[in-house]
Protein backbone atom coordinates (compact mmCIF):
# COMPACT_ATOMS: atom_id res chain seq x y z
CA UNK A 1 0.00 0.00 0.00
CA UNK A 2 2.68 2.52 1.05
CA UNK A 3 4.79 1.62 -1.96
CA UNK A 4 1.88 2.37 -4.28
CA UNK A 5 1.21 5.69 -2.53
CA UNK A 6 4.90 6.52 -2.93
CA UNK A 7 4.58 5.94 -6.67
CA UNK A 8 1.39 7.99 -6.89
CA UNK A 9 2.65 11.05 -4.96
CA UNK A 10 4.97 12.48 -7.67
CA UNK A 11 2.35 11.74 -10.32
CA UNK A 12 -0.30 13.61 -8.34
CA UNK A 13 2.18 16.44 -7.78
CA UNK A 14 2.61 16.77 -11.54
CA UNK A 15 -1.18 17.10 -11.84
CA UNK A 16 -1.18 19.73 -9.09
CA UNK A 17 1.45 21.84 -10.83
CA UNK A 18 -0.41 21.72 -14.15
CA UNK A 19 -0.46 25.37 -15.19
CA UNK A 20 -3.69 25.46 -17.24
CA UNK A 21 -6.20 24.74 -14.41
CA UNK A 22 -4.26 27.06 -12.08
CA UNK A 23 -4.33 29.87 -14.64
CA UNK A 24 -8.02 29.25 -15.33
CA UNK A 25 -8.71 29.43 -11.60
CA UNK A 26 -6.87 32.74 -11.26
CA UNK A 27 -8.72 34.27 -14.22
CA UNK A 28 -12.09 33.30 -12.75
CA UNK A 29 -11.15 34.51 -9.26
CA UNK A 30 -10.09 37.91 -10.61
CA UNK A 31 -13.26 38.28 -12.69
CA UNK A 32 -16.60 39.83 -11.68
CA UNK A 33 -18.04 36.28 -11.67
CA UNK A 34 -15.79 35.06 -8.89
CA UNK A 35 -18.57 32.78 -7.65
CA UNK A 36 -18.02 30.50 -10.67
CA UNK A 37 -14.74 29.39 -9.11
CA UNK A 38 -16.49 26.96 -6.76
CA UNK A 39 -18.29 25.08 -9.59
CA UNK A 40 -15.01 25.08 -11.52
CA UNK A 41 -13.24 23.49 -8.55
CA UNK A 42 -15.99 20.90 -8.14
CA UNK A 43 -15.80 20.00 -11.84
CA UNK A 44 -12.00 19.75 -11.69
CA UNK A 45 -12.14 17.43 -8.65
CA UNK A 46 -14.93 15.22 -10.02
CA UNK A 47 -13.25 14.94 -13.42
CA UNK A 48 -9.91 14.06 -11.84
CA UNK A 49 -11.33 11.44 -9.48
CA UNK A 50 -13.45 9.89 -12.25
CA UNK A 51 -10.54 9.76 -14.69
CA UNK A 52 -8.14 8.07 -12.28
CA UNK A 53 -10.90 5.68 -11.19
CA UNK A 54 -11.47 4.65 -14.82
CA UNK A 55 -7.72 4.23 -15.34
CA UNK A 56 -7.36 2.09 -12.21
CA UNK A 57 -10.27 -0.13 -13.26
CA UNK A 58 -8.94 -0.36 -16.84
CA UNK A 59 -5.45 -1.22 -15.57
CA UNK A 60 -6.86 -4.41 -14.07
CA UNK A 61 -6.82 -5.79 -17.62
CA UNK A 62 -3.01 -5.60 -17.63
CA UNK A 63 -1.69 -9.10 -16.80
CA UNK A 64 0.47 -9.56 -13.72
CA UNK A 65 2.61 -12.56 -12.76
CA UNK A 66 1.07 -15.30 -10.62
CA UNK A 67 4.19 -15.53 -8.49
CA UNK A 68 5.73 -12.59 -6.62
CA UNK A 69 9.14 -13.83 -7.78
CA UNK A 70 8.30 -13.23 -11.43
CA UNK A 71 8.69 -9.73 -12.95
CA UNK A 72 5.56 -7.75 -13.85
CA UNK A 73 6.62 -7.38 -17.47
CA UNK A 74 3.33 -6.04 -18.85
CA UNK A 75 2.98 -3.38 -16.14
CA UNK A 76 6.65 -2.45 -16.53
CA UNK A 77 6.39 -2.02 -20.31
CA UNK A 78 3.18 0.00 -19.95
CA UNK A 79 4.81 2.31 -17.39
CA UNK A 80 7.84 2.85 -19.59
CA UNK A 81 5.61 3.75 -22.54
CA UNK A 82 3.64 6.23 -20.42
CA UNK A 83 6.86 7.73 -19.07
CA UNK A 84 8.23 8.08 -22.59
CA UNK A 85 4.99 9.78 -23.67
CA UNK A 86 5.32 12.33 -20.87
CA UNK A 87 8.93 13.02 -21.80
CA UNK A 88 7.91 13.62 -25.43
CA UNK A 89 5.22 16.08 -24.30
CA UNK A 90 7.78 17.81 -22.05
CA UNK A 91 10.30 18.19 -24.87
CA UNK A 92 7.70 19.48 -27.34
CA UNK A 93 6.36 21.97 -24.77
CA UNK A 94 9.86 23.20 -23.92
CA UNK A 95 10.82 23.68 -27.57
CA UNK A 96 7.63 25.63 -28.20
CA UNK A 97 8.38 27.81 -25.20
CA UNK A 98 11.87 28.56 -26.50
CA UNK A 99 10.76 29.27 -30.06
CA UNK A 100 7.61 31.22 -29.24
CA UNK A 101 7.97 32.96 -25.87
CA UNK A 102 4.69 34.55 -24.79
CA UNK A 103 3.93 37.42 -22.47
CA UNK A 104 0.18 36.90 -22.36
CA UNK A 105 -2.22 34.16 -21.39
CA UNK A 106 -3.94 32.14 -24.15
CA UNK A 107 -6.92 33.99 -25.57
CA UNK A 108 -9.42 31.33 -24.52
CA UNK A 109 -8.50 31.83 -20.85
CA UNK A 110 -9.58 35.48 -21.02
CA UNK A 111 -13.07 34.32 -22.00
CA UNK A 112 -13.40 32.63 -18.61
CA UNK A 113 -13.98 36.05 -17.05
CA UNK A 114 -17.60 35.98 -18.16
CA UNK A 115 -18.61 32.33 -17.74
CA UNK A 116 -21.44 31.17 -15.49
CA UNK A 117 -21.36 28.39 -12.90
CA UNK A 118 -22.50 25.56 -15.18
CA UNK A 119 -19.99 26.47 -17.87
CA UNK A 120 -17.27 26.69 -15.22
CA UNK A 121 -18.21 23.24 -13.95
CA UNK A 122 -18.06 21.79 -17.47
CA UNK A 123 -14.68 23.37 -18.18
CA UNK A 124 -13.35 22.04 -14.88
CA UNK A 125 -14.32 18.51 -15.90
CA UNK A 126 -13.10 18.92 -19.48
CA UNK A 127 -9.62 20.10 -18.49
CA UNK A 128 -8.93 16.59 -17.22
CA UNK A 129 -9.32 15.23 -20.76
CA UNK A 130 -5.96 16.41 -22.06
CA UNK A 131 -2.99 14.22 -23.13
CA UNK A 132 -0.89 15.09 -20.08
CA UNK A 133 -3.67 14.44 -17.57
CA UNK A 134 -4.63 11.21 -19.33
CA UNK A 135 -1.07 9.88 -19.23
CA UNK A 136 -0.65 10.83 -15.57
CA UNK A 137 -3.92 9.11 -14.63
CA UNK A 138 -2.86 6.01 -16.58
CA UNK A 139 0.45 6.02 -14.70
CA UNK A 140 -1.43 6.17 -11.39
CA UNK A 141 -3.64 3.27 -12.51
CA UNK A 142 -0.58 1.20 -13.42
CA UNK A 143 1.02 1.96 -10.04
CA UNK A 144 -2.10 0.62 -8.30
CA UNK A 145 -2.20 -2.42 -10.59
CA UNK A 146 1.48 -3.17 -10.04
CA UNK A 147 1.01 -3.06 -6.27
CA UNK A 148 -2.02 -5.37 -6.39
CA UNK A 149 -4.12 -3.20 -4.08
CA UNK A 150 -7.50 -4.23 -2.75
CA UNK A 151 -10.67 -2.26 -3.51
CA UNK A 152 -10.48 -0.27 -0.26
CA UNK A 153 -6.77 0.44 -0.77
CA UNK A 154 -7.46 1.53 -4.34
CA UNK A 155 -10.08 3.98 -3.09
CA UNK A 156 -7.51 5.43 -0.68
CA UNK A 157 -5.08 5.79 -3.59
CA UNK A 158 -7.76 7.63 -5.60
CA UNK A 159 -8.38 9.94 -2.63
CA UNK A 160 -4.67 10.72 -2.21
CA UNK A 161 -4.26 11.36 -5.94
CA UNK A 162 -7.32 13.64 -6.08
CA UNK A 163 -6.55 15.64 -2.92
CA UNK A 164 -2.97 16.37 -3.95
CA UNK A 165 -3.83 16.95 -7.61
CA UNK A 166 -6.64 19.39 -6.80
CA UNK A 167 -4.82 21.24 -4.00
CA UNK A 168 -3.37 24.02 -6.17
CA UNK A 169 -6.85 24.89 -7.43
CA UNK A 170 -8.67 24.36 -4.13
CA UNK A 171 -6.38 26.51 -1.97
CA UNK A 172 -6.68 29.78 -3.95
CA UNK A 173 -10.44 29.26 -4.45
CA UNK A 174 -11.09 28.74 -0.74
CA UNK A 175 -8.69 31.51 0.30
CA UNK A 176 -10.30 33.99 -2.11
CA UNK A 177 -13.83 33.14 -1.03
CA UNK A 178 -12.72 33.81 2.57
CA UNK A 179 -10.69 36.99 1.89
CA UNK A 180 -11.11 38.29 -1.66
CA UNK A 181 -9.39 41.66 -1.11
CA UNK A 182 -6.39 40.13 0.63
CA UNK A 183 -5.91 37.51 -2.09
CA UNK A 184 -6.22 39.83 -5.09
CA UNK A 185 -2.59 41.13 -5.06
CA UNK A 186 -1.30 37.58 -4.62
CA UNK A 187 -3.42 36.31 -7.49
CA UNK A 188 -2.17 39.11 -9.75
CA UNK A 189 1.46 38.27 -8.95
CA UNK A 190 0.80 34.58 -9.51
CA UNK A 191 -0.88 35.32 -12.83
CA UNK A 192 2.06 37.41 -13.99
CA UNK A 193 4.59 34.74 -12.98
CA UNK A 194 2.67 31.90 -14.62
CA UNK A 195 2.23 33.88 -17.82
CA UNK A 196 6.01 34.12 -18.12
CA UNK A 197 7.06 30.70 -16.86
CA UNK A 198 4.20 28.19 -17.14
CA UNK A 199 5.51 26.32 -20.19
CA UNK A 200 9.03 25.89 -18.85
CA UNK A 201 7.84 24.80 -15.40
CA UNK A 202 5.40 22.30 -16.88
CA UNK A 203 8.07 20.88 -19.17
CA UNK A 204 10.55 20.35 -16.35
CA UNK A 205 7.97 18.69 -14.09
CA UNK A 206 6.76 16.38 -16.86
CA UNK A 207 10.33 15.46 -17.74
CA UNK A 208 11.15 14.53 -14.14
CA UNK A 209 7.94 12.57 -13.64
CA UNK A 210 8.39 10.82 -16.97
CA UNK A 211 11.89 9.69 -15.95
CA UNK A 212 10.52 8.57 -12.57
CA UNK A 213 7.79 6.47 -14.19
CA UNK A 214 10.27 4.88 -16.61
CA UNK A 215 12.52 4.08 -13.66
CA UNK A 216 9.56 2.52 -11.87
CA UNK A 217 8.90 0.34 -14.90
CA UNK A 218 12.52 -0.75 -15.13
CA UNK A 219 12.52 -1.61 -11.41
CA UNK A 220 9.67 -4.07 -11.97
CA UNK A 221 11.72 -6.15 -14.43
Confidence of residue 68 (pLDDT cuts 50, 70, 90): low
Could you read off the pLDDT of 160-199 as tens digits, one per residue?
A: 999 999 999 999 999 998 998 899 999 999 988 888 777 7
pTM for this prediction: 0.89
Per-domain boundaries in the chain: 2-63+71-219
What's the CA dihedral at 193, 198, 204, 205 to 10 degrees?
A: 100
Contact 122, 36 (CB under 8 A): no
Q: Quick one: pLDDT band at residue 201, thresholds 50, 70, 90?
A: confident
Residue 105 — φ and ψ, nearest 5°?
-70, 155
Which of the residue ranges 108-122, 138-152, 162-176 has the most confident prediction, judged by mean pLDDT?
162-176
Contacts with 159 (C-beta within 8 Å, 6 or more apart), sequence order: none
Q: Does residue 188 contact residue 30 with C-beta atoms inside 8 Å?
A: yes
Residues 60, 64: Cα–Cα separation, whole Å: 9
pLDDT attached to residue 150: 85
Q: Provide CB contacts within 8 A for 89, sequence distance 6+.
A: 131, 132, 135, 206
The count of residues in the chain is 221
Residue 151 CB: number of other CB atoms within 10 A? 6
**Start-to-end CA span in the chain (Å):** 20
Q: Please give the residue that has the higher pLDDT: either 205 or 108.
A: 205
- Report the C-alpha gap between 160 and 179 in whole angstroms: 27
Lowest-pLDDT range of 3-7, 91-95, 104-108, 143-147: 104-108
Amino acid sequence: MLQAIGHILPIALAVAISSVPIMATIVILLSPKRGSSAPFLIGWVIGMALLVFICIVSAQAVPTPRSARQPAVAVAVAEMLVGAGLIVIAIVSFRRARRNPVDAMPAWLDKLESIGPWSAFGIGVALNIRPKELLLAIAAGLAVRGAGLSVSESLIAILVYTVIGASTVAVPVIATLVDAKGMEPKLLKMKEWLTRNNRVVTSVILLLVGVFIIGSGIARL
